[in-house]
Amino acid sequence: MNPKVMVLYGEGLNCDKETEHALRVSGADTEKVNIRQMIENPGMLKDYQILAFVGGFLHGDALGAGRYMGATIRKKMPEEIQRFIESDKLVIGICNGFQVLAHAGILPGFDGDYTKNGGVTLTYNDIGRFRDQWFNLNAEGKKCIWTEGIDSLYLPIRHAEGKFVPGEGVLEKLYEQDLVVFKYAPGENPNGSVDDIAGICDPTGRVLGIMPHPEAYNHRTNHPRWTREELPEEGEGLKIFRNAVRYFD
């Protein structure tokens, strides 16, 4: 039986179709749900095995990317989120979705608590503007279910607020608990993220937050040099989603 995925959309999020496609190609059954519908009826989470917070321009980034929505989720449905993760289910947050996970307290999820701020944030790029560009990522650690068997990826970023900043003492805890999942390759940090961090997971390895867009590289024709290089038919980004589906086999 294929895992069922709730793919969130609405409020300015606009990567739902790409994310849904990547998950379907990887073998999941998907259903798009407006993020407000989930907040107003959080009990519906019990019918899904994977929850996907997609990227886009949540609230046009006018309220601070992910800050308002993260705070709303933390206030309105903390018990349901806690129960969902404790039920051996998976969560992914991509770009804006990563920002929501951080501001909701779902990441990093220290001590198994997904209801309070864990001391990480994503803020304005050092260059002070939006960037849409491809970068190399190196995989870190061995804990994350979503990144099993992945050593490196080449993915695009699309953000103005992607700089990862941990609070005092948090960086050390992330490394101690093996929660750093992806780093930008040396010399390629596009936003000034502390220690080049591009993605983290929670202590269970089932919750992933990543700033670059794996769903945007689902086929070789997505690659910026696809007419000049010999590339596999399947884009590298699908490795992440296939790992998630495989977890439920």
Q: Catalytic residues, which ones?
A: 95, 213, 215
Say how far residue 172 (Cα) sits from the centre of its chain: 21
Distance CA 29, CA 8 (A): 14
Nearest to 66 by CA among 112, 110, 120: 120
Q: For residue 150, give Cα distances in angstroms to 137, 143, 154.
A: 10, 12, 11
Is the C-alpha dihedral spanning 227, 229, 234, 236 positive or negative? negative
- DSSP element (H, E) containing 174: helix 170-176
Burial of 225 (0-12, 13-18, 19+ CB in 10 A): exposed
Structure token digits, residue 223: 């690659």
